[in-house]
Structure 1
Amino acid sequence: MGYTHYYQVKNWDSPVWQAIWPHLIQDALLIIEASDVFLTGPAKSTDIITSPITSVDEGILFNGVGIYGHDTFHFCREDQNQRQFMKTEEKPYDLPVACILLRASILCPQGIKVRSDGKWDGLLWKAIRNLHETLWPEDCLQCPWQNYDEDDFWENQQPRESIGLLAQRSTTKSGATRINEKEQQSTQQDPSKSREDSKSFFASRAGYTITAAQLKPIIGWLRDCEERPDHNRCIANPLRWHNLPASAFDSLTFTREASSSPLKGAPLPY
């Protein structure tokens, strides 16, 4: 089936889940902005970019752009009734998808189950954990699926399309860790594991450039902003990431016009 994450909200109407849902929506927006991945919301064709959806009512909805997308991530009550797994094929948008699922398990561990085909100590999940730790350094991260076996994960509510998928995969359990000496020891004990993870991780990102994206909306946004010396439209938007460490945005690249001082602190053009 391909690289997949599995998740199950136990009860959408429970007071504890309803309490954290608005917070998860806001945190998902921050994750999307900080992940530095080309994303799109719903669109009539694959060559059009729209804004990802993060709404208490509509849920969380986005995909990768062009050939860098796969299954659309739609995390909401309605979609949960139809599908409880998310196949990303290790494409770049896997980073915000998995980080949002991880964030949900941190905010409400008793309200959601999360599993992954990935390894908690593998390169993909290290990148996910690094992103989470950059945004919420005070949280102590634990592997969400360390206490779940394949047989009891779905509790007799396994979706039709995923029957047998978990049984076909073996995911090594790992304890609650950060990126520390334990992970280094694991890599030293099995160097082939690191090489295998590295090959898969970087192969999925080979050739990942903006040429696959429809840039007209972004170009229009920059041109409109450039023609307005006071940048009123930018300033009017809420500032969501201006306090993040600069290291979170090292790989962001803007044109000379777009990197002018009035744009500092403005939301990214997703």
Structure 2
Amino acid sequence: MGYCHYYSYDPTNPRFDSVWPKIVADTDRIIARVRNAGIRIGNCLAGNAQWAGVDFIALDGDSDDLAGPGLVIFREVPPTYWSQPRNGSISEVIKTGRRPYDLAVTAVLLRCQMLLPAAFAIYSDGAWDEEWLFGATGPFPGGLGARAVVAELFGDAPTACPFDRERALLL
């Protein structure tokens, strides 16, 4: 299937509503930092000018050669969305193929897991001490990986791997 990240989240979790504004604000900061590193980010939901907002987070690469499947996280899953929650949770796979926008995807996933560990699970084909530390395509300018971006912006990042295969692969 290629280089993928797996995530599962439960928007019905009692803390999800109260933490959602922080997730949106932190996603905006992550995207700004990644764009400042020269990585172009697009919005994978057609017709939307923003990456994060009241209802969703949606991002991917910003050109035909850099784009790939998008990261989508809904505050409330629309009834028309192709993947509906099971037992309150929604699970997704995003195949970034090691494209540059992988940095934004992994940093957002890591931050969500940090803010809502009981409601957000992640797993990855990338190694915690390699791709998540140095980036999926090798060191970016400044050696940026998801862990470095999160630590730089928010003052901390886990050193122990938070991957939870069973919870993240609720597909």
CA 1:124/1:140 → structure 2, altered by over 3 Å: closer, same or farther? closer
Aligned position for 2:51: 53
Aligned position for 1:210: none
User: Could you tell me how far 1:140 is from its partner in structure 2?
Assistant: 4.2
Distance of 1:91 and 1:124 partners within structure 2? 14
Q: After superposing the two structures, state which structure 1 stretch, 135-144 or 64-73, moved more.
A: 135-144
Is 1:153 matched with 2:167?
yes
User: Could you tell me how far 1:43 is from its partner in structure 2?
Assistant: 4.1
Q: Deviations over 1:57-106 (max 9, x none)?
A: 2x111210221011022111425637511111010001011100000111
User: Could you tell me how far 1:120 is from its partner in structure 2?
Assistant: 0.4
Is 1:111 matched with 2:111?
no
- Please give the TM-score of this superposition, normalised by the length of structure 2: 0.75
Q: Indicate the RMSD between aligned Cα atoms, in angstroms.
A: 2.2
Distance of 2:150 and 2:52 partners within structure 1? 18
Total equivalences in the alignment: 146
What is the correspondence of 1:63-142 to structure 2 with a 5 Å cutoff? 63-66=60-63, 67-76=65-74, 77-78=76-77, 81=84, 84-126=92-134, 127-142=145-160
Aligned position for 1:186: none
Distance of 1:103 and 1:153 partners within structure 2? 17
Larger proportion of helix? 1
Q: Deviations over 1:204-228 (max 9, x none)?
A: xxxxxxxxxxxxxxxxxxxxxxxxx
Distance of 1:115 and 1:153 partners within structure 2? 9
Match 1:40 to one of 32, 39, 42: 42
Higher relative contact order (CA 8 A, sep 6+): 2
Q: Greater Rg, structure 1 or structure 2?
A: 1
- Please give the TM-score of this superposition, normalised by the length of structure 1: 0.49
Distance of 1:139 and 1:3 partners within structure 2? 23
Larger proportion of strand? 2
CA 1:139/1:119 → structure 2, altered by over 3 Å: closer, same or farther? closer
Q: Deviations over 1:27-61 (max 9, x none)?
A: 000000001221122447xxxxx74421122x111
Residue type matched to 1:128 in 2? Answer: A
Equivalent pair of 1:118/1:125 in contact (CA under 8 Å): no
SS at match of 2:52: strand
User: Could you tell me how far 1:110 is from its partner in structure 2?
Assistant: 1.2
Residue type matched to 1:39 in 2? Answer: I
User: Could you tell me how far 1:123 is from its partner in structure 2?
Assistant: 3.8
CA 1:125/1:86 → structure 2, altered by over 3 Å: closer, same or farther? farther
Identity of aligned residues (%): 26
Runs of 4+ in 1 over 4 A off after TM superposition: none
Residue type matched to 1:110 in 2? Answer: A
Equivalent pair of 2:150/2:156 in contact (CA under 8 Å): no
User: Could you tell me how far 1:124 is from its partner in structure 2?
Assistant: 4.5
